[in-house]
Amino acid sequence: PEEEQEENESRRLWSKVTSALIARNLDLATEEKTLIEDSQRNEAKSREAEGIDWRPRYFLCENDEYKFKQTHLSKDPKVCKQQIETFIFAANSPPGFHSHNGPHHYNHNNDDSLI
């Protein structure tokens, strides 16, 4: 459910944009989209100023391309869905990641120490 999502999760973050698009209110959708993007830019500037390196939880950046960390997914849609859900919601998340902490911030000077 959306109300259980973290603030930065897609459905929750973009819900006002989605609602405006469904209502065919493109002006409102554009306003909401701009608010999100401006907020994300400001957060990135703040992290950079504080020497904090932000890393996506479920994706790796390789050569300016983001790749899902879970590899070897089944071609069977039901099995694939279960694999992804297990990866995302498992209690044993990847080392250094805690799903209840929201975005993952790392001390820029220590490679993998979570802040």
Mean confidence (pLDDT) of the chain: 81
From the centroid of its chain, how far is CA 65? 15
65 has pLDDT over 90: yes
Separation CA 44–CA 36 (nearest Å): 12
Share of the chain above pLDDT 70, in %: 77
- pLDDT tens for residues 52-64? 988 888 899 899 9
Reported confidence tier of residue 99, pLDDT bands at 50, 70, 90:
very low
SS3 breakdown of the chain: % helix, strand, coil, rounded to 5? 50, 15, 35
Kindly write down the DSSP assignment for every residue of 58-84, as one continuous string: SEEEETTEEEES--S--SSHHHHHHHH
93 has pLDDT over 80: no
CA 102, 79, 1 angle in degrees (round to 5)? 35
